[in-house]
Structure 1
Amino acid sequence: MTCEGCKGFFRRAMKRNVRLRCPFRKGTCEITRKTRRQCQACRLRKCLESGMKKEMIMSDAAVEQRRALIKRKKRDQIAAQPPGVQGLTEEQRSMIQELMDAQMKTFDTTFSHFKDFRLPEVLSSGRKITEFMQAPQGEDPDKWSQIKEDLCALKFSLQLRGEDGSVWNYKPPASNSGKEIIPLLPHLADMSTYMFKGIINFAKVISYFRDLPIEDQISLLKGATFELCILRSNTMFNAETGTWECGRLAYCVEDPEGNFQKLLLDPMMKFHCMLKKLNLHKEEYVLMQAISLFSPDRPGVVQRTVVDQLQERFAITLKTYIECIRPQPAHRFLFLKLMAILTELRSINAEHTQRLLRIQDTHPFATPLMRELLCSTDG
């Protein structure tokens, strides 16, 4: 192995075939990065002593052939890309590719590794549900009313397909006590924690994130993990049925009155339906994740300027991608819509966190990782 400078020097010296002499008549000059230009003879001697050989030098024809091959490979790579992608700069294509690779390595879309989770206790007959927790005795009526509202905002049914082809269903009772969703809370905490771990690994794979101080890495993850979880879950959301299809698990929003439009009054549900209708590409989803992750205004971020510059680069890449890939002018406002969606996502994150904290106060269900993220987000 040699640096480019010494490689070029050795090649030129061998091609000139000139007998070099040490100007100091010692032939023992110390050759370092700083002194290598002072004595060509001793520099050549050191090259030979290091194992460089004249017969290993490529001919001029071979060098030109190699350069032509490199150029041809680059042209072939560009030609193999979709026509619009060719309008992106090499740096932007590299950024997108790194994000896509990180997404592929850390997002288990089939949930094949999600196995050790808790389920509501249901008798084999399916007639009775054993609640994990009861409403606390002597609870302040106003506080319990707020918690009940949080719990009753959306009701989920759960379907689990076994490896043997069997199907297990859980459907909450049709009451409005606020307690019917409680048996499902530990399972939802396990599912969320599984996704959180994937998001944390996603960030760690990204070189731009790893280059930041560890304190800023922690602050960015604490602020953005819930938002990235929502963005990832939208890729599995079926807007027509209100179902999140997670491999052999399916989470469906219960609508006892059969009027799906009423569910859209919930900000989270409305958000998922609105985002899903945009039919985003995987590249657009992953760039939105990066923009959300690299938010300089998260609490505790020290290198705000660096993070702000990174966020701007990801935003410009998303804008350029849309302009290059999406037919214009039909999608000329898509970038602005996505920026507005990310802003709304911040509000949903804050509201959702407050809801979970109120429930956690009286019905502890969160895993240690969830508690850490909830408390830091609230702070």
Structure 2
Amino acid sequence: MGNNKELMKVCVICGDRATGYNFNAVCCESCKAFFRRNASKYDNFKCHFEGNCKIDLVSRKFCKKCRLKKCFDVGMKKEWILNDEQKQLRRTKIEENRKKRKNSDSDSEKSNDTKDNNNNNNSPISDTDHSTIIVDFLDLSPSSASTTPKRFNGDFDGSIEIMCKNLLNYRNRPSDNIHESVYQKTAEFEMSVIPIARPIDELTEKFNDLEINRLVELLNATHKLKSPEVPITSEAMTIEDGCKVWRFKVEQEIHKMIKMSKVLESFQKMCENDQIALMKYGCIEIFCMRLTMNYNFEREQWTYVTDDSSSTIMKLDLLRSAKYELYRAYKRFLDKIRPEWESDTIILDLLTAIILFNPDRPNLMYREMVKLQQHIYMYLLQRYLYMRYPTKFESKTKFLKLMSTLIDLHVIKEIHVTNCLRNDRDQISPLLREVCDVDDNINNNINQLWN
């Protein structure tokens, strides 16, 4: 009981029990309603006690001026208050999305039923067998790939172009603007019960034993992703050369990521199906994010270490000729993450775990278990930033901006996968075919990987 009480969230305005993350602050239902009713009336209120009233559970109703002032001081935003028309619009969108998801799930089930029947009657190798490429690397049994993934069927009806256009509409937002989904994810994280978490007012400048153990385990795991410092021996001069280097390097790093995952006890405790899904759908985002460590921001170029004695440089400008605005997506991501990570590899290591344990990946069986692990690493990142930066406001802002870069990474990943599907299908390896969900009938190379 004592631990539950310590983990209980409190309103940052009056100290009452908080009910959620409202208008950009953790607050109780009373302060939430007060702010919604009075946010635009600040100039109408008057304080009779020199403007420094103490606001707590007992006195919060005594002075509206000081209570509202404290609401603004802790970061509550009146522009987040919706009018009746906006509320109705939001309800309509939620209902539409709910219907779309329901229809999508229904169509997916019908499609999978049809596919299963076709595979049972016609195909000598099933989708379950096809997933064995990743199963083998993870040292899992083939039965773990029991969930049939959605695959690309080779028909381009414009859906990929539409998908990329929708994703890249996000780039039109100001680069310092934090996406609403980041606030929502952070709010859910703030209100969750995390086994190793401590109340913010008890945080010191040191990690406790539980936090240290988790962080040390992660750092030992991500050490397997480190690349040696080797001389530059070549440069990718065309986009075709750059794609070849990228494909070679990403497959090389996937093998390292699988070794990394085996060091994480929490990953090993996941069921085999979820291990496959998390690695399959997260590896490209992890790879693209960690490339930041090999990026020269002054010269705007990456260094791809290809082996123990050679490396290849690729300039960002080379991506201008890539399709689906890959250059803009990378440029936006790099511009956003540069001032936030400040060459601190620990931050990227923690982001690696946050990306890996993404509960929104397809085909997961135990999403809540995955979400718990992601929240633990989000807590460690928040905790680390709190220790590193002088004010809570600065560390919280850093945290939100770093989490916002993960949306840009998802855009980059989708563009890379699209390019693989449309332009490079005949040039990618069986492992990348599996990661990108490329469905074809050439099984010889896959069979060789099984043997």
TM-score, length basis structure 1: 0.54
SS in 2 for 1:87: coil
Structure 1: runs of 5+ lacking an equivalent: 1-83, 113-158, 162-167, 173-180
Q: Which residue of 2 aligns with 1:146?
A: none
Displacement of 1:232 in angstroms is 1.3
Aligned residues of 2:332 and 2:408 also touching (Cα < 8 A): no
User: In structure 1, what is the equivalent of residue 237 of structure 2?
Assistant: 171
Q: 1:305, 1:254 → 2: CA distance?
A: 38
Give the superposition deviation at 1:339.
1.2
Q: 1:236 is matched with which residue: 285, 294, 300?
A: 294
SS in 1 for 2:302: strand
CA, structure 1 residues 93+253, in 2 after alignment: closer, same or farther (shift >3 Å)?
A: same
Q: What is the deviation of 1:230?
A: 1.0
Contact 2:326 2:415 in 1 (8 A): no
- Structure 1: how far apart are the matches of 2:402 and 2:362? 23
The answer (yes or no) to whether the contact 1:109–1:246 under 8 Å persists in 2 is: no
8 Å Cα contact 1:85/1:325 also seen in 2: no
Q: In 2 relative to 1, CA 304–186 (structure 1 residues): closer, same or farther, beyond 3 Å?
A: same
Number of residue equivalences: 226
> Structure 1 or 2: larger helix share?
2
- Partner of 1:138 in structure 2? none
Could you tell me which amino acid in structure 2 is paired with residue 100 of structure 1? L
Q: Which amino acid aligns with 1:275?
A: I
Q: Which amino acid aligns with 1:295?
A: N
SS in 2 for 1:286: helix
Q: Are 2:350 and 1:284 aligned?
A: no
SS of the aligned residue for 1:301 comes to coil
In structure 1, the partner of 2:220 is 101
What is the rounded CA distance, in whole Å, between the counterparts of 1:99 and 1:365 in structure 2? Answer: 34
Equivalent of residue 253 in structure 1, options 315, 321, 341? 315
Say which SS state the counterpart of residue 360 (structure 1) adopts. Answer: coil
Q: Which amino acid aligns with 1:109?
A: S
Match of 1:89 in 2: 208
User: Is the Cα–Cα contact under 8 Å of residues 236 and 313 in structure 2 kept in the other structure?
Assistant: no
3-state secondary structure, aligned to 2:287? helix
Kept in 1: contact 2:242–2:314 (CA 8 A): no
Q: TM-score of the superposition, structure 2-length normalised?
A: 0.46
- Does the CA-based 8 Å contact 1:243-1:250 persist in structure 2? no
One-letter identity of the residue aligned with 1:236: N
Given the alignment of the two structures, is residue 272 of structure 1 paired with residue 334 of structure 2, yes or no?
Answer: yes
Return the letter of the residue paired with 1:103.
Answer: T
Instruction: Name the counterpart of 2:385.
Output: 322
- Identity over aligned pairs, percent: 23
In 1: Cα distance, 2:284 partner to 2:297 partner: 20
- Cα distance in 2 for partners of 1:85, 1:237 equals 34
Decide whether the 8 Å contact of 1:102 with 1:206 is kept in 2: yes
Which has the greater radius of gyration?
1
Per-residue displacement from partner, 1:145-192 (whole Å, max 9, x unpaired)? xxxxxxxxxxxxxx942xxxxxx45523xxxxxxxx335533332122
The gaps in structure 2 that reach 5 residues or longer are 1-202, 440-451
Matches within 5 A, 1:1-379: 86-104=205-223, 106-110=224-228, 160-161=232-233, 168-172=234-238, 181-247=239-305, 248-253=310-315, 255=317, 266-278=328-340, 279-328=342-391, 329-361=393-425, 364-375=426-437
